[in-house]
Amino acid sequence: MTRRGFTLPELLVALGLLGVLGAAVVGLLRGTQDAYRAQSQQFDVRQNLRIAAAFLPGELRELDAIDGDLVAMGAAALTIRAQRQLAVLCRPPRAGSGPSSLMLTLRDSPFAGWRDFNPAADSVFVFSDGDTATPDDDGWATGSIGSFVPDTCPDGRLGRRFTASLRPAPGRSLGSWGITAGAPVLGFETLGYRLYRSSEDGRWYVGLQTATDMQPVLGPVTSDGLAFAYLDSTGLVTTQSSRVAMIEIRVRAQTLAAIRDGRGRLVQPVDSVVMLVSLRNNRRF
């Protein structure tokens, strides 16, 4: 009798080989999956660091420490005056209800800004030219603003009027403000960037603290995920805000879940970015 087919030993050998091969393939796939997980976790970390590298220097570079834009300097928190608007006066100021009160009219256009004026949160600098023949007596009056009402400029264009409570520019006094039509008005907001722990997920974030609330800017980061160092123009650490010429920002972030490293151990790698920002608007003379 001849029956065609496989013998039992042949079948066993084939099954054994298949098993070995299958195990190898599964091992390979698991390695690939681990690598994929590790990659996507690390992408998230780098994404956070990239936001930090793009966002924080841009916000800090425009500051002028010599003229007081650094309001409070901490190791993991920084409060600054951040410029938000630029507008132009279209009339000479008129006296308001008190000695420090001035009625100012802004042109609707030109106007530049991240957002419109918010009387609850914003303050202004108003350029005080004084003697128009020399820049030596120029300065800025500063103070808070009230709500806006529509107004018309002398040339018939649209504008809006508000009352500001101002301190005179250095060297000037209440009543002799030195403010003329055409004076630029800078709107700014006092806000802070700081490390904080979210009450929602218990993780650490870099947050933006405004007068009214705290918003996460980037994260999650590690519990020591944000560090500021304040350097003078020679690169030495200083605690005097008016001497700060550069700010070093250090952001550390960690993968959310543990991933396998090259040797198969479970780790939560930390990555970091260090940025050095020189303050562009510091006076250089």
**Interface contacts to another protein, rule CB under 8 A:** 135, 231, 233-235, 245-246, 274, 276-280, 282, 284-285
Residue 184: other Cβ atoms inside 10 A: 13
* Least distance from another protein to the Cβ atom of residue 246, Å: 5
CB of 243 to another protein, least distance (A): 11
Shortest separation between residue 50's beta carbon and another protein, angstroms: 12
Residue number with CB closer to another protein (139 or 159): 139
Bridge partners (DSSP) listed for residue 204: 197, 221
Q: How far is the CB of 135 from another protein (least distance, A)?
A: 8
CB of 230 to another protein, least distance (A): 12
Measured from the CB atom, is 41 or 282 closer to another protein? 282
CB of 87 to another protein, least distance (A): 26
Residue closer to another protein by CB (options 43, 114) is 43
Burial class (CB within 10 angstroms; exposed 0-12, middle 13-18, buried 19+) of 224: middle
Q: Among residues 126 and 246, whose Cβ is nearest to another protein?
A: 246
Q: In degrees rounded to 5, what are phi and psi of residue 228?
A: -105, 140
Q: Residue 259: CA atoms inside 13 Å, Cβ hemisphere, count? A: 23
Output 78 or 279, the one with its CB closest to another protein: 279
DSSP per-residue string spanning 30-48: HHHHHHHHHHHHHHHHHHH
What are the Cα distances from residue 140, in Å, to 7, 96, 97, 254, 281?
99, 19, 21, 44, 15
Pick the closer one to another protein by CB: 253 or 277.
277
Is residue 32 packed enough to be buried (19+ CB in 10 Å), middle (13-18) or exposed (0-12)?
exposed
Peptide bond into 269 cis (omega under 30): no
